[in-house]
Each structure stands twice: as C-alpha cells, then as structure tokens.
Amino acid sequence: MHENVVAIEGTSNLRDIGGYPTRGGGRLRRGKVYRSEALVFSGAPTKASIYREDNAHAYKQIEVKTIVDLRGKQEVDASPTAWPHATGAELIAFPMDAGGEGDATVIMKLLREGKLRAFGVADLARFYAAMARSLAPMFGGALNALARPGRLPALVHCAAGKDRTGMFIAFLMEILDVPREHILSNYAFTDVLRPDRVYLYRDILDKAGVEPEAVRSLFESPAQALDTTLDGLRAEFGGVEAFLTGAAGVSPDSLRRLREELVEGPAA
C-alpha cells in the first residue's frame, strides 16, 4: 500500500486506489481514482493540509480532471477546497454534514459541546451504518458522477480522508469486486499515514473535558467498524451493490462504465 501513496510535501493521506486485485482476476487501474484529505488555503480555520505554491508542479502531476468534495456546506464555506486550484480540475460537491473528523461535522459539534464523552469502535460502526443510510443519495450521486464520460481521473476527499471518503472508496471497491480484505486494508491504512490524530484535537477535547483515549476511535480507521457496516448493508439489502443500486440510486449504466474504466484484465 505504501507504493500507492502520492508523496507531496504537506499532504499525508493522498493515495491512488489502483493496483488492487478483483475476484475476477483483474486489477484496478492506476492513476484513475485518488483519495485524500482536504487541501485548503493558508489561513483557513481547519486542521487540514495547507496548499503551498511551491508544490504547484507536484499537485498537477496527478493529472486529475475532477475533484469530488464530500465535506458539509459549513466546512466548505469556512475552508474552501484548494484541490481544484492546485490541480486545474473541475470541482463537484456532494455535501455530507454527517462525517466524523472535521471542523463542523455534526459529531464534532457534539464533541465540542461536551455531549459526546466516549466513542468506541462499535460506536463508529453504528455511526457509519446511519451515515450510509441517511446519505445514500449523496454516495450514489457521487458514484454516478464519476461514471460520466470525461470525469476520470478523479480525486475524492472529505476532511481527513477517513470517514466519508473511506466509505465512498469502500463502496466503489465493492462495485469493482475487490475482495473485502483489500477494501478493509485500504480503509485502515489511514491510521498508518495519520497516526494519533486524536491528539491534534487536544485543545478541543480539553475545553470540553473529554479524555482523548475515550474518543480515540472517532479519529481512527479500525477495519472492524467498516467490516460491520458492510455486513449490515449485506444483511439488510442483500449486498452492498444492491444497496447502491437501490437506496443510493446508482444506475446500471454507471456500474458498467465504472467497471470498464477502472478494471483491467479478465474482469474488465
């Protein structure tokens, strides 16, 4: 997975999802879909990565055509994404206020107000399950958008590149028939690239009187939480693909185009 990381100074969770195998013997094409944390302009009230003019050439080297911003409206208004400026790509937004880590997500508001004092792996799984169902049209709309001609290569991001982006990429990989163990390892790799994020929020936690270790899971990407979420969708809808083509509104044409564009080899 380290070979998928795009090393641009100042970023920490920018990576290509290409190279993973599919059950049909194919492999995800490289250079087609990237996942990342937010990149914002200097002075923005956020803990996201900061755009640097001296990195201009490096940003453009990933050669993306589309930026998909999954952050909520309040987050975006306070800290607009710098990825379109950095890459020259077109921005499309699918605002999700229900993310985890971020500056103005619903759950961070509860944390700031001292109303959330403990948060474990099981809580994260329940949070993801609720997010998948309540934001199904947003996830589906973003998948449909990526399937349109001329949208790829694309970069998808939220605040930390962990929760909303992590779920979106997991859904995409499910559509592409990537084995579950690889989906989970891709999700969990955020912890390798961004360890101990909870301490970055120590000022907020101290002010709210919350112990960092009690809410560590909110800032991490434990594979068990995503695994439980995907199993729940399978139990309720008959499969993640059935959830996406049903509640999320992903069209059969989108499925076909995404598979054609993103899988090379026998399953393409």
For residue range 121-140, list pLDDT tens digits in order: 999 999 999 999 999 999 99
Kindly state which CATH superfamily the domain 2-264 is placed in.
Answer: Protein tyrosine phosphatase superfamily (3.90.190.10)
Compute the distance between CA of residue 43 and CA of residue 199 in angstroms, rounded to an integer.
Answer: 21
What pLDDT, on the 0 to 100 scale, is given for residue 103? 62
Domain boundaries, the chain: 2-264
Cα 245 from Cα 233, distance rounded (Å): 12
Residue of 108 and 5 predicted with greater confidence: 5
Q: What is the pLDDT of residues 176-232, one digit of tens each?
A: 999 999 999 999 999 999 999 888 888 888 888 999 999 999 999 999 999 999 999
- Helix, strand or coil for residue 185? helix
The neighbouring-strand residues paired with 34 are 16, 155
Span 42-48, mean pLDDT?
A: 83
Q: Got the DSSP string for 80-119?
A: -B-HHHHH-PEEEEEEETT-SSSSS-HHHHHHHTT-----
- What per-residue confidence (pLDDT) applies to 67? 98
Regarding beta strands 33-36 and 15-16, do their DSSP bridges make them parallel or antiparallel, or are they unpaired?
antiparallel
3-state secondary structure (DSSP) of residue 232: helix
Look up residue 116 and give its two tokens.
């959330």
Q: Considering the entire predicted model, what is its pTM?
A: 0.94
Give residue-wise pLDDT tens across range 51-94: 999 999 999 999 999 999 999 998 899 899 999 999 999 999 99
Amino acid, res. 137 = P
How remote is the C-alpha of 192 from its chain's centroid? 15
Say which residue, 248 or 102, is predicted with more confidence. 248
Tens of pLDDT, residues 146-186:
999 999 999 999 999 999 999 999 999 999 999 999 999 99
Q: How many helices (H) and strands (E) would you count in the chain?
A: 13, 9
Question: Which pLDDT value is given to residue 3?
Answer: 83
